[in-house]
Amino acid sequence: MRLTKQTNYAVRMLMYCAANKDRLSRIPEIAKAYGVSELFLFKILQPLNKAGLVETVRGRNGGVRLGRPADKITLFDVVKVTEDSFAMAECFEDDGEIDCPLVDSCGLNAALRRALGAFFEVLAEYTIEDLVKARPHINFLLGLPEAPAKAVSAPAA
């Protein structure tokens, strides 16, 4: 199974917004960071916005931000919004054009459905926050200002 470029860049866009969490992200900045066209990112933005994974703020100082916390957005959430089909074989398709006489009693169909279910389960285990935290220098890599260090309070005397 191969995920589309749309899914790949949707995840990247969400990672950018998560790394830039205290500010609005602008599509031109995201496009530049990843070397992809702004038009392509605007196309991806629509389903992400509709699903509540991002929020858009219009206007001169507008931009994009996560629609919910990065630790509440799983890879499965992104994949189910950005992928059109999970048909791994013709017997998964719903168009009624199945030529196989074993379609209702085939072990391959059951095995593929089980494999797809396992794939979805693993994607549901990982969040956008997990991906961002796995890259300690993500802000530098994306050309973003470093996130402010968390203040550590001194122990009481």
Residue 140: its pLDDT value, please?
Answer: 81
Residue 39 CA, chain-centre distance (Å), reads 18
Q: Which of 13, 40, 45, 23 is nearest to 131 (CA)?
A: 13
Which pLDDT does position 147 carry in this prediction? Answer: 59
- Which residues partner with 57 through β-bridges? 63
Tokens read off for 112: 């593929």
Q: Check residue 98 and give its pLDDT.
A: 65
Residue (of 3, 86, 6, 83) closest to 39 by Cα position:
6
Would you state the pLDDT for residue 153? 52
| Residue the block writes with tokens 């059951």 | 110
Alpha carbons 139 and 47: distance in angstroms, whole number: 25
Is residue 48 classed as helix, strand or coil in its secondary structure? helix
Query: How far is it, in rounded angstroms, from Cα 92 to Cα 130?
Result: 31
Q: Give the pTM.
A: 0.81
Which residues, other chains included, contact 140 with Cβ-Cβ below 8 Å and sequence gap of 6+? 146
Among 25, 130, 6, residue whose Cα is nearest residue 67: 25
DSSP 8-state code for residue 62: -
> Which residues are paired to 127 by β-bridges?
74
- Chunked mean pLDDT (size 10), the chain, 157 residues: 89 95 93 95 96 94 94 97 78 62 70 89 96 85 69 51
